[in-house]
Structure 1
Amino acid sequence: MVQEIDKLTDNVNDIKSLFRTLNETLESIEKRLSRLEKMDSIEHRVEVNQIDLSDIKESLQRIEETHSNEIQHINRRLDSHLVKIAKIEEEMIIIKSR
């Protein structure tokens, strides 16, 4: 009977030891997962920022193209007005010299 009680006690101690080991292993896994989650979070933020920067860049390019076209149109109109003014000045000089 004493041997059986000793054997049971040993078994209980073995089970406690296994639980401690299991607990330590779980804690280690939790720490690793925590680090992975942080990595995922950082990678996610980097990806989101890359997407945001790409969108901003594309928007700026579109704005630049639009304004470039508008500026070219304005420049053409100014050129045509300058040509008209030059022709009128030339006509005025010709009229004055008569």
Structure 2
Amino acid sequence: MEKEFVKLPENELDLKRLIQTFNTTLETIEKRLSRLEKMDSIEHRVEVNQIDLSDIKDSLQRIEESHNNELQHVNRRLDSHLVKIAKLEEELIISIKK
């Protein structure tokens, strides 16, 4: 039994070392987790930004399509007015020559 009591201080030292090693390991794990949380946050922001950008792109395409339709309508109206003006000019020239 005396031998066991003599070993107690050695065991205590071993326990202290184990606790220190455990603390060091815990600190390392906490640091890694912190970095992972930051990465998750960055990835989340990137995903949100990608969604925002794709929404903006879709909106711009819809606006472009609607404006394109409006421009086509305006172009058709201008063409018809130009045809009318050309016909009137032709009629004026014909009437002046008579």
Alignment of structure 1 residues 1-80 onto 2, 5 Å: 3=3, 5-80=5-80
Aligned length: 98
Per-residue deviation, residues 42-88 of structure 1 (Å, max 9, x unmatched): 21122122112211111111111011001001000100111111111
Query: What TM-score do you get using the length of structure 1 for normalisation?
Result: 0.86
CA RMSD of aligned residues (A): 1.7
Shift of residue 4, structure 1, vs aligned partner: 5.2
Structure 1 distance, partners of 2:82, 2:6, is: 112
State the 4+ residue runs in structure 1 displaced beyond 6 angstroms. none
Residue aligning to 2:88: 88
Structure 1 distance, partners of 2:73, 2:26, is: 69
The percentage of counterpart residues that share the same residue type is: 73
In structure 1, runs of 5+ residues without a counterpart are none
Query: What TM-score do you get using the length of structure 2 for normalisation?
Result: 0.86
In structure 2, runs of 5+ residues without a counterpart are none
In the alignment, residue 89 of structure 2 is paired with which amino acid? E
